[in-house]
Structure 1
Amino acid sequence: MEITVADGKVTKVEVPVSPSGNGRDVEINDRALPVLVQETLDAQSADIDMVSGATVTSDGYVTSLQSALDQAGI
């Protein structure tokens, strides 16, 4: 996970690597990641809603996001 921060706000979120071991993983990530990214930009924190049907993806995303936010000092 990579975040871009400007003036103390998250302006961009990128997930360059996500599980792609099978077609179902790709399908879930293609649906869930854009929602999670938008939630992040709206909330400006890791306190975001999980995506229904993508619990594992959501959990991993939030964990990575919190780590990135901590590193950025947000």
Structure 2
Amino acid sequence: MKATVHVFLKPGVLDVQGKAIENALHGLGWADVNHVRVGRVLEFEVGGDKASAEAEVKAMCDKLLANTVIESYRVEIG
């Protein structure tokens, strides 16, 4: 079963990389772009039924894939 995990910084956490991209976009002429946030997407295969796979992936996120102090995540199983 395919698992997709979306990880982003929590609101209020300074996103230095997002700000750098926003400034670069402004420099290239896209002045209307604002509030750029950078995240990451992880995709991998996981076994089991949908409910157990989702629980397992959430445990992976809490222990390794996301820093839950400053990041939030969303899990998709499909």
Q: Normalising by the residue count of structure 2, what TM-score does the alignment of the two structures yield?
A: 0.26
**Larger RCO (CA under 8 A, 6+ residues apart):** 2
Q: Which has the higher helix share?
A: 1
Structure 1 length normalisation: TM-score?
0.27
Structure number with greater Rg is 2
